[in-house]
Structure 1
Amino acid sequence: MSTEFDNLVAEFERFQEQGRKAEQRLAAYDGMREEIAAVEVTATAPDRSVTVTAGPGGAIKNLQFTEEALRRPPQALAAMVLATIQTAVAEGARRQAETVQRYVGDDLNVLDQVLETQAEMLGVPVEQLRASTSAPPVRRAAEEEDFAEREFLSDKPGASRAQAPPPPVSQGEEFLRKLYDGEDH
């Protein structure tokens, strides 16, 4: 009976440790969310007549014109404003992707996906965009992983739901699991 009790205590301690680790990961993701919310990028047109400040999600926070900008024909001013907005928003998206990449690691290749999309949309090479980031390139696996089956909160990198079935559970372990789960309700 003592061995089973010791096993139950050990199992309960593992449950508690998993709970602590989950709380730490959630706190880290809160930090990521705060960093993303603080992203602010200012872009200036090549002639310095238009300045745009963009925030998270491409929100335009500020738009400034010089006297020179206001002397331009409306279509030229509009084109310059749009180009400057595009520059600020694209840089903001890259910074947000860098932040996400730092928190989730290289598994999702978030930054690469953003860079590839922007390269296609802007008609510039990915390498040119990558040069403006602080993150190193991510090496991709030979085969892409199916992230629908990925356990993102697992302690083990590469863990997925498609694992071997869990070992049989003793009556004592089952009791503790029900007790532990019951505390959440």
Structure 2
Amino acid sequence: MPHGSDDDILRYLDTDVAKLSARAQRAAEVVAGYSVTQVAPDRSVTVTVGPGGNLLDIAFGRSVGTMSPQRLATLVMKLVGEASLRASGDVRAAFADLVGENPVAIDVLAPFIGPTDNSPSSGLNPKTAAPGFRTGHRP
């Protein structure tokens, strides 16, 4: 911040606020129409989640008829978890320029950006992975 007259300081702050506002607007635009689609390796299930990891769409291929209900449920949960993790990373990146590594700002955003790791609480528990599922698979 400059040392000078009150007018100099106010001009500096106005410029700073305008830059921050522009960055916030860009981040909001990126996130507004954002979604992530995750497809099972065998194309039996496709899920799409929004920026917070919320399920927007799910589609089933013909091969789901041969899966057990447990395997299908596990596969769906795994795909949603993986897509949510990708969405979280992308949303964090969109806001990184705005909030940086500010822990308070990240805490404020946390409820809106979904899981950040593959811990059991994130829904990405490797012990319950669907057979044949490849972590990090992008369609």
> TM-score, normalised to structure 2's length?
0.66
Note closer, same or farther for the CA distance 1:117–1:13 as it changes in structure 2 (3 Å cut): closer
> Whole-Å Cα distance in 1 between the matches of residues 91 and 66 of structure 2?
35
* CA drift at 1:117: 4.6
Q: Is the CA contact 1:70–1:77 (under 8 Å) kept in the aligned structure 2? A: no
Contact 2:27 2:94 in 1 (8 A): yes
Rounded Cα–Cα distance in structure 1 between residues aligned with 2:96 and 2:20: 15
2:116, 2:85 → 1: CA distance?
A: 10
RMSD of the alignment, in Å? Answer: 2.8
Q: TM-score, normalised by structure 1?
A: 0.52
Letter in 1 for 2:68: P
With over 3 angstroms needed to count, the CA separation of the structure-2 counterparts of 1:102 and 1:23, relative to structure 1, is closer
Q: Deviations over 1:94-151 (max 9, x none)?
A: 111122223333555x6xx99x951434467xxxxxxx7xxxxxxxxxxxxxxxxxxx
SS state of the match for residue 52, structure 2?
Answer: helix
Distance 1:13 1:79 in 2: 60
Q: Report the counterpart of residue 20 of structure 2 in structure 1.
A: 25
Summarize deviations over 1:38-57 as a string: whole Å, max 9, x none. 32111111221000011111
Consecutive unaligned residues of structure 1, counting only runs of 5 or more, are 1-6, 125-131, 133-185
Question: Residue 120 in 1 paired to residue 119 in 2?
Answer: yes
Q: Does 1:80 align with 2:82?
A: no
**Higher RCO, 1 vs 2 (CA within 8 Å, ≥6 residues apart):** 2
CA distance in 1, matches of 2:118, 2:70: 26
Q: Residues 13-162 of structure 1: matches in 2 within 5 Å? A: 13-106=8-101, 117-121=116-120, 122=124
Moved over 6 A (4+): none
- The 2-side partners of 1:120 and 1:105 are apart by 24
C-alpha separation in 1, matches of 2:80 and 2:118: 16
Letter of the structure 2 residue corresponding to residue 12 of structure 1: D
The offset of 1:27, in angstroms, is: 2.1
In the other structure, the counterpart of 1:156 is: none
Seq. identity, %: 26
Deviation, 1:91, is 0.9
**How many pairs align?**
114
Partners of 2:76 and 2:118 lie apart in 1 by 20
